[in-house]
Amino acid sequence: MGLDTLGNLLLAFASICALGSIVSAAMTRTPARGGARPLAVYLTYGTLAFTTLAVVLIVAAFLGENFTLEYVAYNHPTLVGPWAWLFRVSGIWAGREGSLLFWEWLIAIYAAYVGYKALKHDDDLGFAATGVLNFIQLFFLAALFIPLNNPFKLLPPEYLDPQTGRLLIEAAMNPLLQTWAMVAHPPTLFIGYAGLAVPFAFALAALFLGDTSKRWVQMSDRITVFSWLMLGVGIGLGAIWAYIELAFGGYWAWDPVENASLLPWLTGVALIHSMTVYRRREGFKGWTMFMSAVTFVVVLLGTFITRSGIVQSVHAFEQDPLSFWLFLSMMVGSLVVMVGAIVWRRDALAGNDAFDRVISKEGSYYFNNLIMLLATFLIAYMTLAQSLPAWIGGGKTYGIDDYNLLARPLGIFYILVMTVCPILSWGGQGWAEFWKRAKWPLAGGLAVFAGLMAIFFNGMLPYYQPAGESAFWHHFIAVSGLLTAALAIALPLYLFYDGARKRAAARGESFFTALRRIMTKARTQSGGYLTHLGMGIILVGLVGSTMFVETHELSVETKPGTVAEAHGYSFAVRELKETTEPNGDVVYTLELAAKRGARDIGVLKPKIVFPIQLQSKNQSTQKVALIQEPLKDVFVSFHGVDQNGQASVTVKFFPMQWWVWAGFIVTIVGTALASWPKRQLQAA
């Protein structure tokens, strides 16, 4: 039996198990429920088992360099060395077909976990959610049988040497994907994508069963936060990859596929916060369920954008009409079913939705949701506008400046709302009480702001290069962002300090013992504070590294000793050398001795790489060199040598770049702390 036949049989068996589990889950509401419940879960395990075997089959083909499968032939890495096996494993998520299989496998893992918890606690809600997850799996498994999505297609035999099994065509993994970041970036994204199906499944299950209590939130909130965490990790790793590998001089270009990953992150923020209101106040019931569907749908929208060919992107796959209609029907169907179920159960969803005062936790959560949903809608529209009909404002293409014009003020306003939320009370409070809580964080924020303004005048303004917008508006947005960031940094630090101080005084503990116990006992709250702190740090980095970038295009002789200068830095040519890597890649390295003033910094080695699989097309990639300092990055890229022996070099200055990465780490730590499982869980 060939790999193609075996692989497709495994997918077929997985589909049969998923379908059987759906039927069994439906039967749990009938007199035959006793036997149907365990059967529904065991069949879910079967789906996981068969998809696991399918994944193992693909991975084994990559490890064994079995090029009889077309997917393996076109996505195998060319790197050699002790870590080559890891890049071969990463081949499963490097392309269209394998990444879809990998995604389905992750959904199967979540479904099996939910089913396990349901069986353990004999829980109706868990069984119903398992059925919904299996229904989702059926769609993904159906998509895998579409020819352009099937990872088990055979390579035409004329493309292989029958004696050696080696390829007779130039085919391999994209060289830009053969980096450590791409080993980690796609799987973390897919873990997040797959997990965001769980709150949707529980919300829909709760509506089907008429159980609109907070149980479904309690059973899915940790998975929701964990999935949002992994999605954030994936986005961050993607930004690092773009910054280092793509060499365009940045980490976010508002590319359609980048936007596709951002959309569920934005709606995930809204979902997590509305879940808090549902759990704590029995409020936002219908809205929270609706947001679970919106989040799931925008996850599918990302797949739709990437796989349908509806938009042009360097990350998108070729056009596929079948995938277009399959994922479109899945998006529309999910939304229609959820809205219909909410209307059906509207009487049971009546809750504590109203709030009397805007200055309240409920008010801040309301604006949180409103801003995130507005941002999601506008970014989705701008992303898809090129493919929409003219009668709804389509046929337009939006560039980076257009997105920034939207994102900057909206993002600053959102972080301001986020910052104020922890000092607000449920039900609201008077201005006197608000001022009592806010005055010391405000004082701390102003102190931080003073420090940031010193950095602004000395470490940002010197790199300002006028663009299309007015200088006044540019600087107004920048200063507003820094003020908001200062408050976002100061307030959680104050809350940690104040909480530890009060606990230490009440219990006779040392300050640091009290702080440690607050962070370990009140993990959800402490994790939220850290996440807010990280967002404030990121905002400082975004202001500097996107609004005050200075670019120098240099032309320098390749003769050793030739010096080029840019903003107080000098770059002396040491040599231009050509080397061939063990895998056949040809590399041209321009060695530059860098100085800041009179102080030696080190040797920079920007490179041009001609990967072996692209040499016949004379195509190359670039490897940048970086000088990384606490208050700025110096970014150097090498573009080639002209007929006169002049090397083309770009030098960019990114103020506060490290603050983006530092804030990203703090945010991830905070979200991980918030999503850490409780010692005793009653369900998923």
Distance in angstroms (rounded) separating the CA atoms of residues 353 and 359: 15
What value does the mean pLDDT of the chain take?
Answer: 91
Across the range 587-592, mean pLDDT stands at 96
Structure pTM? Answer: 0.93
- Above 50 in pLDDT, residue 683? no
Closest CA to 486 of 449, 453, 539: 449
Question: What H or E segment, with its residue span, contains residue 407?
Answer: helix 400-420
Closest CA to 104 of 47, 173, 182, 63: 47
pLDDT digits (tens, 9 = 90+) for 19-42: 999 999 888 776 556 678 899 999
Closest CA to 438 of 501, 489, 488, 491: 491
- Above 80 in pLDDT, residue 629? yes
- Above 80 in pLDDT, residue 141? yes
- Above 60 in pLDDT, residue 680? no
Do 202 and 220 touch, CB atoms closer than 8 A? Answer: yes
Across the range 260-274, mean pLDDT stands at 95
pLDDT digits (tens, 9 = 90+) for 531-544: 999 999 999 999 99
Q: What is the DSSP string of 21-41?
A: HHHHHHHTTSTTHHHHHHHHH
> Given this model, what pLDDT does residue 305 score?
83
pLDDT digits (tens, 9 = 90+) for 482-494: 999 999 999 999 9
- Above 80 in pLDDT, residue 597? yes
pLDDT digits (tens, 9 = 90+) for 114-132: 999 999 998 999 999 999 9
> Given this model, what pLDDT does residue 389 score?
82
Residues 6+ apart with CB under 8 A from 31: none
Distance in angstroms (rounded) separating the CA atoms of residues 267 and 107: 20
> Given this model, what pLDDT does residue 318 score?
63
354 falls in which pLDDT band (50, 70, 90)?
A: low
pLDDT digits (tens, 9 = 90+) for 411-463: 999 999 999 999 988 877 778 888 888 899 999 999 999 999 999 999 999 99
Looking up tokens 């549902």, which residue turns up? Answer: 278
> Given this model, what pLDDT does residue 215 score?
95
Do 478 and 460 touch, CB atoms closer than 8 A? Answer: yes
